[in-house]
């Protein structure tokens, strides 16, 4: 005799449900969609002994609480289509988590078979499961399978038939277990059950106890369905009363309490039925994390990682920086000059615009492309390895300990790249006070655009400790932000609310070359694009301002820069910076134009000083082949020097003693200028200049983002506040250093 | 168990990593993951990644020439916080 019946396959995602479905149905499968949904519906059939069994594969879910379309589909199918047996597939190695769904299926009153799938993986981890105890406690059949290897299918089908046969003896033969929710809740469940039992229309559709529990959990979907049935509204009203009563007793949301009781019941069962090796398995990632996220060692490890990054950036990139400088100001400038010479434009204002404006301005910034590439490579390695997530976590905890919002560090970390997205990232903070405070602190993080300024000034004034100086700038930015944050948090931005969070730390992995290259290229190309757009436009505008004479005897494009409109304006501003050691008009003009973009500080200096350089001579210009050969040879030499400079990170110098790079004319000019403006304390003035660049008003794009995110009033506070703080800190560095006899 | 996770996060004075929380509550990692997912679905916790404002982030400045995507917004680790709105 052929018996046709339906079983439903339920289970958590990744428990191996699809493998079980394939093992049972083979090629007899039908794929479609659940009615009115976009969720895939798979069904299949098989013949076993005298039975024709239809198997419906339910969507993978963690519970039946109707939180998602998948859960609604699974629950509705079990509730209304009433399969005769539910096969619940569980991952044996993660049984406790998987049992939550199992308990909900059993509470629904449908006979079930519990499948302990992937039992081989559990055994490999030393996990032993008392099947009989689980079967007894769940009043269900329990079988083990390894669906991947097609093992256990027959045991499963036998269990299904046994459950079915038990069922055919009448529902009394199948008594679903009842989770004890505690006296107070059980009293309300009983009361609601009594009301449901008195409503035939409702009793016919829903399992009584299950419905009572769902109503106490305030299941909206069930409430909506119940309202359509006679007597439903009254029962919902009564359930709401019970809920209010119970929440007053427990002082906690009832849905949490009910879920908690299920978890506790499961935990108790697992404690008795699942045996694990005494020594807990700790993954390598977790072992490393115990060190990298350690309360004491976490911060020094983070600082060491950042020190390494800037040491690599400053020391190792130097040969390529010199190479790009040589290429731009050598063959490229020469060829451009030759073209202009050929066009008869030699000595014209146009030649000056191209060479003193565009090449000096844009070229002066592009020189730093290798530096940024090295920085982005190092950061990409930290990100892709998974360490950056730990750094965010460690810094987060520090900020929290200091009374600041933990999540503030996430935008700050983005701020190391660019202040603009960092300001937008403050949206993650819910509290407006925290959001504004973080928005005010983010610009203190040193963005990538400021790095060329540090690199140049560190090379001029601290050639032997440039990596450490650059690292100190970044650290100073963080410390300033934290100190200011603490002050503001305890004055203007007082709030009691402190939200904490749980952070998932991705496993460590070896970064791939492809991913490192992708990150590096994306970020470096952004810098290069900026050089050809904003920086070029600014350089051209500056050139015009430098070409217009407003005093002296010069004419257009043939005037001393100090007599130009640009020079005269900045001479008026320069005295403000005199107490900081860099009161020359050249330095103040670079800070002034730095408001457009921080890279412009460099391009302005290059333009201001390059006009003093010796003019090119047509006889010195290399031919194309000579130039290309020169580029190739110098690239090879730079590559060798880069390899030789790698040991510099750990203090080993492979270069010949006494052999040092000659400073470029720009470096020499800046040094001379700072010597003059500081009366012989050039290093202190250089350091004060770097501090000022770090702290003062961010670029105009960042200011626009501030206005968008913080409003105009706070933007003014940020602009003038940062200017004031920058001035005071640079003053402290220069004057304090002088007092202490440094520099 | 579930209440304890919620209570621990509510009373916490500093952020946790999931392995730390798992050790503190002596809960199996997969069970804790399940509970966190459950609490998110219940609306008690907030998955920071699903924050619409965060996911819709675009840089309106476009000053660096990359108007479509921002190469500096590194993907931060997934984190969950107490959903204060849901009490």
Least confident of A369-378, A515-524, A617-626, A671-680: A617-626
What are the distances in angstroms from CA A275 to CA A95, A271, A279, A491? Answer: 11, 8, 12, 55
Residue B29, in any domain of the structure: yes
Number of domains in chain B: 1
The pLDDT of B9-36, averaged and rounded, is 85
Q: Check residue A16 and report its DSSP letter.
A: S
Of A682, A699, A677, nearest in space to A592 by CA: A699
Residue B58 lies in a domain: yes
Residue B61 forms part of a structural domain: yes
Task: Please state, rounded to an integer, the average pLDDT across all residues of chain A.
Answer: 86
Q: Chain B residues with CB inside 8 Å of A699's CB?
A: 63
Report if residue B59 sits inside a domain.
Answer: yes
pLDDT for position B56: 46
Residues of A in Cβ contact (< 8 Å) with B34: 62, 97, 100
Q: Do A597 and B63 touch (CB under 8 A)?
A: yes
Averaged pLDDT for residues A568-576: 90
Identify whether the C-beta of residue A5 lies closer than 8 Å to the C-beta of residue A130.
no
Q: How far apart are CA A564 and CA A604, in angstroms?
A: 14
Give the pLDDT confidence score for residue B52 in this predicted structure. Answer: 45
Whole-model pTM: value is: 0.74
Cα distances from A155 to residues A58, A143, A145, A152, A632, in angstroms, run 21, 7, 8, 5, 72
Confidence of residue A35 (pLDDT cuts 50, 70, 90): low
Residue of B nearest to A265 (CA): B1
Report if residue B31 sits inside a domain: yes
| Lowest-pLDDT range of A17-21, A305-309, A511-515, B53-57 | B53-57
How confident is residue A279, by pLDDT bands cut at 50, 70 and 90?
low
Q: Mean pLDDT, to the nearest integer, of A423-430?
A: 78
Q: pLDDT tens digits, residue range A197-255?
A: 888 888 888 888 999 999 999 888 888 888 888 888 898 999 999 999 989 998 889 99
- Ranking A61-75, A705-719, B43-57 by mean pLDDT, the lowest is B43-57
Percent of chain A with pLDDT over 90: 27
Contact A413 B13 (CB under 8 A): no
Lowest mean pLDDT among A550-564, A570-584, A598-612, B39-53: B39-53
pLDDT value of residue A308: 86
pLDDT at A403: 73
CATH number at residue B33: 1.10.10.10
pLDDT at residue A95 greater than cutoff 50: yes
Reported as a single tens digit per residue, the pLDDT across A624-650 is: 888 899 999 999 998 998 888 777 776
Cβ B81–A499 below 8 Å, yes or no?
Answer: yes
For B56, the 3-state DSSP assignment is coil
pLDDT > 70? residue A667: yes
Q: Work out the percent of chain B whose per-residue pLDDT is above 70.
A: 62
B15 within a domain of the structure (yes/no)? yes
ipTM (interface predicted TM): 0.83
Model confidence at A736: pLDDT above 90 = yes
The confidence band for B66, taking pLDDT boundaries of 50, 70 and 90, is low
Distinct helix (H) and strand (E) counts, chain B: 4, 3
**pLDDT higher than 70, residue A12:** yes
pLDDT in tens, A358-411: 888 888 888 888 988 888 898 888 888 888 888 888 888 887 777 777 677 778
State pLDDT tens for residues A484-507: 988 988 888 877 666 667 788 888
pLDDT at B68: 58
Within a domain: B77: yes
Q: Is A289 on the interface with B (CB under 8 A)?
A: yes
Give B57's contacts in chain A (Cβ within 8 Å): 421, 424-425, 427
Identify the band that residue A14 occupies on the pLDDT scale cut at 50, 70 and 90.
Answer: confident
Looking at residue A34, what is its pLDDT?
A: 65
Q: How confident is the model at residue B74 (pLDDT cuts 50, 70, 90)?
A: low
A259 touches chain B (CB under 8 A): yes
Residue B55's pLDDT band (cuts 50, 70, 90):
very low
Residue in chain B nearest A289 by alpha carbon: B19
Q: Looking at the domain assignment, is residue B87 inside a domain?
A: no
What was the pLDDT predicted at A390? Answer: 87
The Cα–Cα gap between A63 and A467 comes to 54
Residues B1, A260: contact at Cβ < 8 Å?
Answer: yes
Query: What per-residue confidence (pLDDT) applies to A150?
Result: 86
Q: Which of B1, B35, B72 sits opposite A414 (nearest CB)?
A: B72
Is the confidence at residue A601, as pLDDT, over 50?
Answer: yes
- Judged against a pLDDT cut of 60, whether residue B57 lies above it is answered with no
List, as own/partner pairs, every contact residues A186-193 make where C-beta atoms lie below 8 angstroms and the sequence separation is at least 24, other chains included.
A188/A212, A188/A216, A188/A242, A188/A245, A188/A246, A189/A213, A189/A216, A191/A238, A191/A242, A192/A216, A192/A235, A192/A238, A192/A239, A192/A242
> What per-residue confidence (pLDDT) applies to B87?
43
Residues of A in contact with B31 (CB under 8 A): 94, 96-97, 263, 267
Q: Out of A393, A417, A534, whose CB is closest to B63?
A: A534
Q: Domain range for residue B46?
A: 2-82
pLDDT at res. A720: 94
Is the pLDDT at B49 greater than 60? The verdict is yes
Query: SS3 sequence, A413-436?
Result: HHHCCCHHHHHHHHHHCCCHHHHH
Question: A501: which chain B residues are within 8 Å (Cβ-Cβ)?
Answer: 9, 15-16, 48, 79-82
Specify the range with the lowest mean pLDDT, choosing from A138-147, A602-611, A673-682, A702-711. A602-611
Among A456-465, A548-557, A633-642, name the one with the lowest average pLDDT: A548-557
Cα–Cα distance between A500 and A489 in angstroms, integer?
Answer: 17
User: Phi, psi (5° rounding) for residue A29?
Assistant: -125, 150
Mean pLDDT (whole number) for A595-617: 77
Interface contact B49, partner A, CB < 8 A: no
Is residue A132 within 8 A of residue A100, CB to CB? The reply is no
Residue with tokens 């390059």: A610
């Amino acid at each position: 005799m052929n018996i046709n019946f339906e079983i439903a396959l339920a289970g958590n995602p990744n428990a191996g449900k699809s493998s079980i479905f394939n093992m049972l149905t083979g090629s007899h499968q039908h794929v479609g969609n659940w009615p009115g949904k976009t969720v895939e519906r798979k069904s299949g059939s098989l013949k076993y002994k005298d039975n024709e069994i239809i198997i419906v594969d339910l969507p993978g879910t963690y519970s039946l609480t109707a939180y998602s379309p998948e859960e609604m589909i699974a629950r509705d199918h079990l509730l209304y289509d009433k399969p005769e047996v539910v096969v619940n597939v569980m991952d044996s190695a993660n049984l406790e988590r998987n049992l939550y769904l199992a308990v909900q299926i059993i509470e629904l009153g449908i006979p079930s078979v519990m499948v302990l799938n992937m039992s081989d993986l559990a055994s490999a981890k030393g996990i032993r499961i008392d099947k009989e105890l689980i079967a007894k406690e769940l009043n269900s059949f329990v079988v083990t399978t390894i669906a991947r290897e097609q093992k256990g299918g027959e045991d499963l089908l036998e269990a299904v038939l046994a459950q079915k046969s038990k069922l055919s003896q009448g529902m009394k033969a199948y008594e679903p277990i009842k989770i004890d929710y505690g006296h107070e809740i059980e009293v309300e469940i009983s009361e609601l059950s009594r009301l449901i039992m008195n409503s035939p229309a409702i009793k016919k559709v829903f399992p009584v106890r299950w419905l009572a529990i769902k109503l106490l959990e305030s299941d909206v979907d069930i409430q909506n369905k119940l309202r359509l049935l006679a007597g439903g509204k009254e029962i919902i009203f009564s359930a709401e009363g019970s809920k209010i009563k119970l929440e007053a007793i427990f002082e906690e949301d009832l849905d949490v309490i009910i879920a908690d009781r299920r978890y506790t019941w499961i935990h108790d069962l697992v404690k008795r039925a699942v045996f694990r090796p005494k020594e807990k398995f700790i993954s390598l990632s977790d072992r490393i994390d115990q060190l990298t996220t350690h309360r004491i060692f976490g911060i020094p490890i983070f600082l060491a990682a950042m020190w390494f990054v800037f040491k690599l950036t400053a020391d190792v990139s130097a040969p390529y920086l010199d190479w790009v400088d040589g290429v731009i100001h050598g063959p490229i400038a020469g060829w451009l000059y030759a073209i202009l010479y050929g066009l008869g434009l030699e000595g014209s204002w146009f030649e000056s615009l191209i060479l003193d404006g565009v090449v000096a301005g844009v070229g002066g910034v592009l020189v730093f492309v290798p530096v940024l590439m090295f920085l982005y490579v190092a950061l990409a390695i930290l990100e892709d390895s998974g360490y950056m997530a730990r750094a965010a976590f460690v810094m987060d905890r520090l900020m929290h300990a200091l009374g600041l919002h933990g999540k503030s560090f996430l935008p700050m970390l983005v701020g190391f790249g660019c202040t603009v997205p960092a300001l937008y990232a403050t949206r993650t903070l819910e509290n407006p006070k925290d959001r504004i405070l973080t928005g005010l602190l983010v610009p203190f993080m040193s963005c990538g655009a400021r790095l060329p300024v540090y690199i140049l000034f560190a090379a001029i004034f601290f050639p032997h400790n440039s990596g450490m100086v650059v690292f100190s700038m970044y650290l100073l930015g963080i410390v300033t932000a934290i100190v200011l944050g603490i002050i503001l948090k305890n004055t203007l931005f007082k709030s009691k609310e402190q939200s904490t969070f749980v952070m998932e730390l991705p496993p460590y992995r070896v970064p791939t070359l492809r991913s490192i290259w992708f990150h590096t290229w994306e970020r470096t190309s952004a810098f290069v694009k900026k050089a050809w757009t904003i920086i070029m436009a600014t350089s051209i505008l500056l050139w015009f301002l430098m070409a217009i004479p407003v005093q002296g005897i010069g004419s257009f494009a043939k005037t001393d820069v100090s007599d130009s409109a640009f020079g005269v304006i900045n001479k008026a501003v320069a005295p403000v910076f005199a107490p900081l050691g860099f009161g020359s008009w050249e330095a103040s003009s670079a800070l002034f134009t730095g408001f457009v973009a921080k890279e412009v500080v460099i391009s302005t200096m290059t333009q201001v000083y390059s006009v003093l350089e010796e003019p090119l001579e047509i006889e010195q210009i290399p031919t194309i082949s000579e130039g290309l050969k020169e580029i190739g040879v110098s690239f090879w030499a730079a590559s060798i020097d880069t390899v030789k400079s790698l040991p510099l990170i750990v203090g080993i110098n492979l270069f010949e003693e006494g052999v040092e790079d000659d400073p470029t004319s720009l470096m020499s000019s800046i040094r001379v200028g700072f010597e003059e403006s500081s009366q012989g304390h050039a290093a202190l003035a250089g350091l004060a200049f770097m501090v000022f660049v770090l702290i003062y008003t961010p670029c105009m794009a960042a200011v626009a983002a501030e206005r968008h995110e913080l409003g105009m009033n706070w933007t003014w506070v940020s602009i003038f506040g940062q200017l004031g703080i920058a001035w005071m800190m640079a003053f402290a560095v220069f004057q304090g250093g002088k007092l202490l006899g440094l520099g | 168990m579930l209440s304890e996770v919620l209570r621990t996060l509510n009373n916490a004075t500093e952020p946790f990593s999931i392995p730390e929380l798992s050790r503190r509550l002596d809960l199996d990692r997969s069970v804790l993951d399940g509970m966190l997912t459950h609490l998110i679905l219940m609306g008690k916790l907030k998955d920071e990644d699903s924050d619409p404002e965060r996911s819709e982030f675009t840089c309106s400045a476009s000053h660096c020439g990359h108007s479509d995507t921002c190469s500096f917004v590194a993907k931060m680790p997934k984190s969950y916080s107490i959903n204060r709105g849901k009490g």
